A = this chain, B = another copy of it.
Amino acid sequence: MIYFGRRVSFSMGHRLHNHALSDAENRAIYGKCNNPNGHGHQYTLEVLVAGEVDPKTGFSANLPLMDEILRREIVERFDHYDFNADFPEYAGVISSGENLARIFWDLIAPHLPLARLRVEETEKNAFEYFGENR
C-alpha cells in the first residue's frame, strides 16, 4: 500500500454563524469570525489516497480521474465563492474547518479511495479527517 497526496488551493469567503443561536451567542462563540459580512481564506486541501502500485503505469492512483474530481468537486465548486451565501445546499451548515473537511470528504470519497484529508485554513490552522472509520 502506498499513499499519494495531491494539494489544491482555492479562495473562499465564509462566516462562522449558527442560525439557531442569537446574535449575542454567535458573537460570544465565534468572535470576529462572526462578522456579518464575512471574510475569506486561501484554503489548501491535501487529499491522500491509498493504492497498490499498478505495474503497468507505476501509479497507485488514477491521476487524470483524481485531478478531474478535485477540479470538479472542489476547486470549480468553491473557488471564488462564499460558502455561506452561495450554497443553498449547505444552508444552516456552520462553515467551521471541521465541517468543511467532512463536506469535502463526502464530495470526494465516492470517487477516490480517500485515506486522509487535510484542510489548511491558514498557516496556523489545519483539520485532518480520516472518514468515519477512524
Contact = CB atoms under 8 A, between A and B. Distances in A.
Interface residues of A, number: 60
Given A2-B101, A57-B18, A98-B58, A80 B128 contact: no
A82 B41 contact: no
A122 B56 contact: no
Given A1-B134, A126-B5, A29 B57 contact: yes
- The number of times this chain is found in the oligomer is 6
A81 B91 CA distance: 21
Interface of A: 1-9, 11-14, 16, 18, 20-21, 29, 32-33, 35, 37-42, 46, 48, 53, 56-60, 79-82, 85-86, 93-99, 101-102, 122-130, 134
